[in-house]
Amino acid sequence: MRNKIILVTGDPNSINSEIIYKSWRTLNSSVKKKIYIITNFNLLKKQFQKLKFNINLIKVKNISEYSNKKDLKIIDVKLLFKDPFNVSYKEATKFVINSLNLAHKLALNKNVAGIINCPISKKLLITKKIGVTEFLAAKCNIKNNKEVMVIKNKKLAVCPVTTHIDVKQINKEINQNKIINKVKTCNSWYIAKFKKKPNIGILGLNPHNAELRKNSEEIRIIIPAVRKLKTIGINIKGPLVADTLFMNDYKKFDIIFGMYHDQIITPFKTLFKFDAINITVGLKYLRVSPDHGVASELIGKNKANPMSLVKCIDFINKY
């Protein structure tokens, strides 16, 4: 039975220890038993002390060890630091990569429901020029652009075809196969998890779909991809016009694909704020994370909102 949950604390210079503590307080004992935290034991202990959080931590060597349900079970990862909220870039980078590698290894275990990683600054993975989605996809040997970033709440899911790349690179990174593979992956996942064939919308790339000019990405790439997806029975409509869809018509869809990160995630967050979770679909295991960043301006202030992490735990526990 897949009943273990791996929680990676992520970026040490963040609000992550705070949202972990606040989330933990909301959980019932049966969920607490399932959670194993990948972090540096001393770091989390020091951060809790600075925030005046009173909670007992216990070291475990692996996910087969059991402890009192009131204890936070810690799988220790090496980290050198002096200030618990100001870890050096070099050490933070090693720590994050080692933590993700360990989480990946553990998640392949048949007893693990999946991974939750707390926010990680993109600069810590900058040498690899990828985000966590791409990092774990590479670890899982996922090819042909079949991994998908999904930002989801109870009302809507949105997916960018391209993720964390510069705007000037977007049109070079869009092609029919990428669109088709990502939509197929997300469609299959949605049916498997929610027992429903989703209605999918897909945006064009250019303002007003480039008025459907012959040499536009809409005519050359997006429309042919949509046609092919329809022939295999996927409920998809597009290319839709991005500047009006999120006024009201988004309610017609379960999933909306955009061509790039901000095209799709900016309106989603405008509508729903941080009422969402980030899911990577297409891996060998379920991976989710809170739909917000490290919030460096809130570090140590005890003002962080744990809602998105709570939703991550609820989602991975359910599915």
The pLDDT tens digits along the chain (319 residues) read 568 999 999 999 999 999 999 999 999 999 999 999 999 999 999 999 999 999 999 999 988 877 666 789 999 999 999 999 999 999 999 999 999 999 999 999 888 999 999 999 988 886 555 788 888 988 998 877 788 999 999 999 999 999 888 899 999 999 999 999 999 999 999 999 999 999 999 999 999 988 899 999 999 999 999 999 999 999 999 999 999 999 999 999 999 999 999 999 999 999 998 789 999 999 999 999 998 899 999 998 999 999 999 999 999 998 8
What is the secondary structure of 125-192 as a DSSP string?
GGGGT--HHHHHHHHTT--TT--EEEEE-SS-EEEESS-S--GGGHHHH--HHHHHHHHHHHHHHHHH
Between CA 245 and CA 118 the distance in angstroms is 31
Q: What is the pTM of this model?
A: 0.90
pLDDT reported for residue 109: 87
pLDDT reported for residue 124: 87
- Look up tokens 């210079």; give the residue: 13
Ramachandran angles phi, psi of 52, nearest 5°: 60, 40
Q: What are the angstrom distances between the C-alpha of 10 and each of 4, 293, 314?
A: 18, 11, 19
**Would you say 229 and 180 are in contact if contact means Cβ atoms under 8 Å apart?**
yes
Which residues on neighbouring strands pair with residue 256, listed in sequence order?
Answer: 158, 201
End-to-end CA distance of the chain: 12
Between CA 237 and CA 92 the distance in angstroms is 43
Between CA 34 and CA 106 the distance in angstroms is 13
Domain with CATH 3.40.718.10 in the chain: 1-142+283-319, 144-280
- Look up tokens 């909301």; give the residue: 26
- What is residue 284's DSSP assignment? S
Taking residue 230's Cβ as centre, other Cβ atoms within 10 Å add up to 12
Helix axes 132-139, 89-107, angle to 10 degrees: 50
Class of domain 1-142+283-319: alpha beta
3-state SS class at 72: strand
Note the residue count of the chain.
319
Instruction: Give domain 144-280's CATH superfamily.
Output: Isopropylmalate Dehydrogenase (3.40.718.10)
pLDDT reported for residue 201: 98
3-state SS class at 9: coil
